[in-house]
């Protein structure tokens, strides 16, 4: 990170909690975090440590119970929480739906945008009106990622990277990030399996006991990304 650069987003004294029935359940406490341009961050933690909740708080789609969140660059695409497609809609309409759910402008939901996303994802469709069931699980992940990369977000967050996602999706996104992600954009990846994306990482955050216990630098082996 650069001490002279303003952070893209900043959390100060933030508490995050979820709800079980009518009762709040504390997840993270007193989080202080600054995310700077061009950082490639790996969020590490056991299941239930709060990785997804932290990503959602950074995205502004999960409320915090205390503290402040400041975002100087509002464009952010969030992947994860399960890849979801509506089987009643065409693939093109599904792309529009995902773009809208990320809070991006409708300018990113055009037919031309969807066509470019399909091309970047290297998918051959039988027709523009094809339904999601013609896509393999790997193709569904790639298409979602291609749509996010094409929007050129300032922060791209990828959640729930497991062994299957890393094996099938990791090499593809690792190859295309230098081509499509803005060089001044930040990347956050949450999950245990990031073998393919590991060469990009510049910083690791370890979540445990309701807080960021370790915040350490990492040396990327892909120099063009920083």
Q: Using only the alpha carbons of the chain, give its radius of gyration.
A: 17
Domain boundaries, the chain: 9-225
3-state secondary structure of 175: helix
Q: Whole-angstrom Cα distance, residue 113 to residue 152?
A: 12
Mean pLDDT of successive 10-residue stretches along the chain, which has 226 residues: 75 88 85 92 89 85 84 64 80 86 73 89 84 86 84 81 66 75 82 73 93 87 40
**Taking the model in full, what pTM does it have?**
0.80
- State how far the Cα of 21 lies from the Cα of 50, in Å rounded to an integer: 18
Q: Which residues, 6 or more positions from 18, have their beta carbon under 8 angstroms from its beta carbon?
A: 24, 25, 27, 53
| Edge-to-edge order in the sheet of strand 66-71 | 23-35, 9-20, 66-71
- CATH code reported for the domain at 9-225: 3.40.50.300
């Amino acid at each position: 990170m650069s001490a002279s650069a303003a952070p893209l987003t900043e959390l100060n004294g933030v508490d995050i909690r979820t709800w079980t029935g009518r009762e709040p359940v504390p997840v993270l406490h007193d989080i202080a975090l600054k995310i700077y341009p061009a950082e490639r961050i790996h969020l590490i933690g056991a299941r239930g440590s709060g990785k997804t909740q932290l990503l959602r708080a950074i995205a502004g789609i999960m409320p915090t119970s205390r503290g402040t969140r400041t975002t100087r660059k509002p464009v952010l695409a969030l992947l994860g929480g399960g890849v979801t497609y509506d089987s009643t809609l065409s693939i093109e309409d599904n792309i529009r739906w995902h773009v809208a759910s990320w809070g991006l402008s409708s300018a990113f939901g055009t037919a031309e945008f969807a066509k470019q996303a399909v091309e970047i994802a290297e998918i051959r469709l039988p027709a523009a009106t094809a339904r999601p069931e013609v896509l393999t699980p790997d193709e569904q992940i790639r298409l979602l990622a291609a749509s996010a990369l094409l929007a050129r977000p300032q922060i791209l967050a990828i959640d729930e990277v497991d062994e299957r996602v890393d094996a099938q999706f990791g090499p593809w996104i690792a190859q295309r990030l230098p081509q499509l992600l803005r060089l001044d954009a930040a990347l956050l990846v949450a999950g245990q399996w990031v073998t393919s994306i590991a060469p990009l990482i510049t910083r690791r955050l370890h979540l445990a006991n309701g807080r960021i216990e370790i915040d350490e630098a990492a040396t990327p082996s892909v120099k063009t990304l920083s």
